[in-house]
Amino acid sequence: MFLKVQLPWNVIVPADCLDAKGLMLQKSIVIRLLDDFASKKATKDLGYFLAVTTLEKIGEGKVRQHSGDVLFPVVFSGLTFKIFRGEILEGVVHKVLKHGVFLRCGPIENIYLSYTKMPDYRYVPGENPVFMNEKLSKIEKDVVVRFIVIGTKWLEAEREFQALVGLEGDYLGPIS
């Protein structure tokens, strides 16, 4: 699910990037904000950071005594992506294993669909392994699959989510 959020943030602008002209200062603040935003990747509460949409407010800068850099408190709006239990989403298969498949959905790389959560599908080994049902519907690499989220887990060290998903429900499975 995409979320629109408003966040307070502290942006540190190095002293050598400061200029008496307001536009150059504003540009430096925006560039630093975008760099910080991209490097943060995700949080447990908000999900993955996707985009800064508007810079709402730039507070008064405070000079840091050690370095001479200036810290600006800012408030901005942005978009995030977070998955929730019970949500129906689509993902692309990127790895097929004997016990299930791994999918990608937006910025999330580790979405696991276990063979136990694929009713009627059976594993077919080979050079390009697949899961296939009696109607010859295939779940293989690069196939788009509609699934339901069973559970999610936040990994603090990697700053990313993992998810367990299933195909138990109406209109779930490979999309042709």
Say if residue 170 is in the same domain as residue 106.
yes
CA nearest 61: which of 10, 101, 99, 97?
A: 10
Looking at 47, 81, 115, which one is the last position of a domain?
81
pLDDT in 10s for each residue of the chain, 176 residues: 899 999 999 998 887 776 665 557 788 888 888 888 888 889 999 999 999 899 899 999 898 888 888 899 999 999 999 999 999 999 999 999 999 999 999 999 999 999 999 999 999 999 999 999 999 999 999 999 999 999 999 999 999 999 999 999 999 999 96
Say if residue 77 is in the same domain as residue 6.
yes
Say if residue 109 is in the same domain as residue 58.
no
Contact 6, 76 (CB under 8 A): yes
Q: Which two tokens stand for residue 60?
A: 């008064």
d(CA 8, CA 59): 10
Looking at 48, 65, 81, which one is the last position of a domain?
81
Residue 19 confidence (pLDDT): 65
Residue 20 confidence (pLDDT): 60
Say if residue 36 is in the same domain as residue 55.
yes
Q: What backbone torsions phi and psi does residue 120 show, to the nearest 5 degrees?
A: 75, -5
Looking at 17, 49, 81, which one is the last position of a domain?
81
Please write the tens of the pLDDT for every residue from 115-153. Answer: 999 999 999 999 999 999 999 999 999 999 999 999 999
Report how many domains make up the chain: 2
Q: How far apart are the first and last CA of the chain?
A: 23
Residue 22 confidence (pLDDT): 55
d(CA 104, CA 166): 14
CATH assignment of the domain containing 47 = 3.30.1490.120
Say if residue 42 is in the same domain as residue 103.
no
d(CA 64, CA 98): 56
DSSP 116: G
Residue 14 confidence (pLDDT): 83
Say if residue 140 is in the same domain as residue 163.
yes
Say if residue 164 is in the same domain as residue 102.
yes
Q: Count H helices and E strands in the chain, helices first.
A: 1, 14
CATH assignment of the domain containing 120 = 2.40.50.140
Range of the domain at 148: 88-174
Say if residue 131 is in the same domain as residue 106.
yes
Say if residue 62 is in the same domain as residue 114.
no
Say if residue 100 is in the same domain as residue 154.
yes
Say if residue 58 is in the same domain as residue 93.
no
Instruction: Report if pTM > 0.85.
Output: no
Say if residue 71 is in the same domain as residue 99.
no
Q: Which helix H or strand E contains 22, and what residues bound it?
A: helix 22-40
